Chains A and B, each alone.
Chain A
Amino acid sequence: MGEFKVHRVRFFNYVPSAIRCVAYNNQSNRLAVSRTDGTVEIYNLSANYFQEKFFPGHESRATEALCWAEGQRLFSAGLNGEIIEYDLQALNIKYAMDAFGGPIWSMAASPSGSQLLVGCEDGSVKLFQITPDKIQFERNFDRQKSRILSLSWRPSGTHIAAGSIDYISVFDVKSGSTVHKMIVDRQYMGVSKRKCIVWGVAFLSDGTVISVDSAGKVQFWDSATGTLVKSHLIANADVQSIAVANQEDSFVVGTAEGTVFHFQLVPVTSNSGEKQWVRTKPFQHHTHDVRTVAHSPTSLISGGTDTHLVIRPLMEKVEVKNYDAALRKITFPHRRLISCSRKRQLLLFQFAHHLELWRLGSTVATGKNGDTLPLSKNADHLLYLKTKGPENIICSCISPCGSWIAYSTASRFFLYRLNYEHDNLSLKRVSKMPAFLRSALQILFSEDSTKLFVASNQGALHIFQLSGGSFKHLHAFQPQSGTVEAMCLLAVSADGNWLAASGTSAGVHVYNVKQLKLHCTVPAYNFPVTAMAVAPNTNNLVIAYSDQQVFEYSIPDKHYTDWSRTVQKHGFHHLWLQRDTPITHISFHPKRPMHILLHDAYMFCIIDKSLPLPNDKTLFYNPFPPTNESDVVQRRTAHAFKISKIYKPLLFMDLLDERTLVAVERPLDDIIAQLPPPIKKKKFGT
């Protein structure tokens, strides 16, 4: 295997933004998650909870509500007063319509999916009709005195419950007038000075309205008479979110202390018909406020200020007790935010609004296995490049020689040239971008840094020639069918002949760069691609899918390699398939063609194709190099997957040269240290 010197990098100050809203779509089993910086991410829950698509954020967009309407249409509304519809095929925003009510606090789609209700700052509730290509304002309901913070439709579509500050109103949809106004008790820990904010309401089909408020209560109201039926005091802090299951026999609430409570409708005695709502399970998976919850048929989904997305399958709903029933916590991004220039040992970090360029430190000391070597030269922060405008950066890349930096926002593409002279760095922007190049989903430089490959969000793949300080458009590959879906990933071979692009549902396309035409297509798989790379000499394309399968495809021969077929027949070890996080980067050793280096957030692995494959009974995670163990033990435990869990959580891992690795870690404590303050909890003995 050889010894490697590993650069452990911990100066990537990555802090994800807090989760603000979550919306679950039943038909497609997809989850839309919106964050406080305006990013909306779509997770495919059936594809191993992989983040399929995302819409980049915007500084002025503070989303407060997210909902799915019929026909897989996604709407969001925010504090800038606009209702935004997202185009899931083209991955951009279809349109933004101003609701003229001030900042929008809440939004709900009708049970039939054809109408949209919006609650605004000035107390008005507005009804919009969803037409095939746009939404149209229909009418206003009775205006209330204070801001409408939560909305809920009755499943029959006849009534609406709106939660505001200190009261809840029930509207009749046909007439638009208030039927009942229910006053919420302000009492908070015995003091009634602070206003009681009703953070969430839910309307059940039997006329019960459930409200959660900032005094820590969950209350059940009867909408026919407008009276309080039952009140549960469940927390010492705000209860901030509520979600009801489709069958209306259970609902989930999230509190500001990070606890998620599950309420279920259970019969009073074992054979009586009468049922009542009982608080059954508390879950403490968050440390900060849980601002949003969702209830899918089999699991509870919660997200909040501590930036984790937690999906907790309910044990009673799960049929088979296998790995599918485990808790999933999504913390780290499912795509690469770091690019590396191997020759100059530079790392480019992508943040929401700026890029940072660092040069790795160096050491002259040597040591044995497991030693930490002192640095003779510290890591250098070379460049802090701030983006112009309020939009977030979608993707960025640095060329392998380190002289070009390219990044893209939702509306512009930027290309910079770097000049190094005796430790000095100078940056020059290449102006005059072509008009057709607006926003890119993925950017990649060729190995010799003469070509730039850009996957634009219209589906086309552009190739540019870079020379000196200028660049020229060579060719554009148009998409086959006219639709573009999912994340687009690019991989280029070391000799610059082949370009692989994933993203269309038809599989991975491989293009011949010299002849500028499509070479072949890797057959489509029913899970999305998470990482791709082309091996240097053999030109084998290695693809990792979100269900943790790894395939190897030979580009010149246009078929899967023998090793790949063997692996598929043999099957992967069950521990390999049970990993939580997707593989985000694949790289190769220049001198050892039998090695594939890949990593996910909690491990990195070197697959040695010459060694035998493990079956389910073998010890999968090898102990730390057993050089002094007997030959027999070594033979028994030697298999192709060499896994190391020393460096975690890993954001990026790459081979710089034959004997050096770079591992960018992001400890969870460092992220927590930069989050907003949590609620104070009194613990016994402190």
Chain B
Amino acid sequence: MVQLRPRASRAPVSAEAMVDEGQPASEEEAEHGLLLGQPSSGAAAEPLEEDEEGDEESDEAPEELTFASAQAEAREEERRVRETVRRDKTLLKEKRKRREELFIEQKKRKLLPDTILEKLTTKNEDCGKGNDSKKVKVQKVQSVSQNKSYLAVRLKDQDLRDARQQAAQAFIHNSLYGPGTNRTTVNKFLSLANKRLPVKRAAVQFLNNAWGIQKKQNAKRFKRRWMVRKMKTKK
């Protein structure tokens, strides 16, 4: 059996003590008081733990909270909040800076070494100015590296013209042989001609001689070897 302690008299006594203590000097204390008041009036289980401490100090007056201290506390709180925000910001900034540096590093690794780039730009300026006309098909820049393993070419000289020509050829192909046109294969065409001849012939069959060349060669070799073996055993 659980032994319950008597507590019916607790709650009203504390409330009265609060009220008796004095009129709240500022709204803050009143708020505090009210806040303190509400839970105590509501739940009965909570004051169970407090009651043990409260038992010793039940006759003592609650802490006195002056305006100045509360203000200081609030300011402290604000300062702490501001501190955390600033720290967060700086942390984020650092992270971004580190990432930026990483990217620059990677890009640098991808590009050609500085010396070669320098040489290229100077060369380009020299010979790029003269021929503005679009007649220049490919503007080849002299290979500047020591081992001459690559050649720098201006892409903008050839890209646009080729792309347009490709598009034009695709248009023609589409309109003549694309979907919607009524085309037949050469095989069917020739077979139809065979069928309509006065002396009817069979349909045309196209052979792919390039299919399975290795297989055919292997088969031929095997046949030769088999024949030789057969001849030997016969003998």
Contacts and interface: CB of A to CB of B under 8 A. Distances in A.
Contacts of A365: none
Nearest to A103: B168
Interface stretch (A67-75, A444-452, A646-654, A667-675): A667-675
Residue with the highest number of chain A CB atoms closer than 10 Å, among B161, B182, B185, B204:
B182
Interface of B: 134-135, 161, 164-165, 168-169, 171, 175-177, 180-186, 188-190, 192, 195-196, 204, 206
B183 A677 contact: yes
A679 B184 contact: yes
Contact of A686 (B161, B168, B176, B195): B195
A674 B183 CA distance: 15
Contacts of A102: 164, 168
A193 interface: yes
A237 B190 CA distance: 19
Given A62-B165, A80-B161, A679-B182, 16 more contacts: A62-B169, A80-B165, A98-B134, A103-B164, A256-B176, A287-B189, A673-B186, A673-B190, A677-B177, A677-B189, A678-B184, A678-B186, A678-B189, A679-B183, A680-B183, A681-B184
A231 B196 CA distance: 33
B182 A193 contact: no
B175 A197 contact: yes
Given A98-B134, A680-B183, A214 B192 contact: no
A193 B180 contact: yes
B224 to A, nearest CB: 16
A6 B180 CA distance: 49
Interface string A585-605: 000000000000000000000
B192 A686 contact: yes
A81 B184 contact: no
Contacts of A121: 164, 168
Contacts of A100: 134
Contacts of B175: 197, 214
A207 interface: no
Nearest to B188: A680
A174 interface: no
A345 interface: no
A677 B185 contact: yes
Nearest to A102: B164
A683 interface: yes
Contacts of A81: 161, 164-165
Going nearest first, the 9 A-B pairs with the smallest beta carbon separation are A680-B184, A103-B168, A677-B183, A79-B168, A194-B180, A680-B182, A79-B165, A102-B164, A678-B189
B105 to A, nearest CB: 43
B57 to A, nearest CB: 94
A238 B172 CA distance: 13
Interface in A629-686: 669, 672-681, 683, 685-686
B107 to A, nearest CB: 36
A676 B183 CA distance: 10
A98 B137 CA distance: 11
B164 A289 contact: no
Interface in A234-268: 236-238, 256
A291 B171 CA distance: 16
Nearest to A81: B161
Contacts of A214: 175
Contacts of A680: 182-184, 188
30 contacts: A60-B165, A79-B169, A81-B164, A98-B134, A98-B135, A102-B164, A103-B168, A105-B168, A121-B164, A236-B182, A237-B181, A237-B182, A256-B176, A672-B186, A672-B190, A673-B190, A673-B206, A676-B177, A677-B183, A677-B184, A677-B185, A677-B186, A677-B189, A678-B184, A678-B189, A679-B181, A679-B183, A680-B183, A680-B188, A681-B192
Contacts of B195: 686
A196 to B, nearest CB: 10
Given A103-B164, A672-B186, A677-B185, A683 B177 contact: no
A197 B176 CA distance: 10
A217 B135 CA distance: 40
Interface string A169-211: 0000000000000000000000001100100000000000000
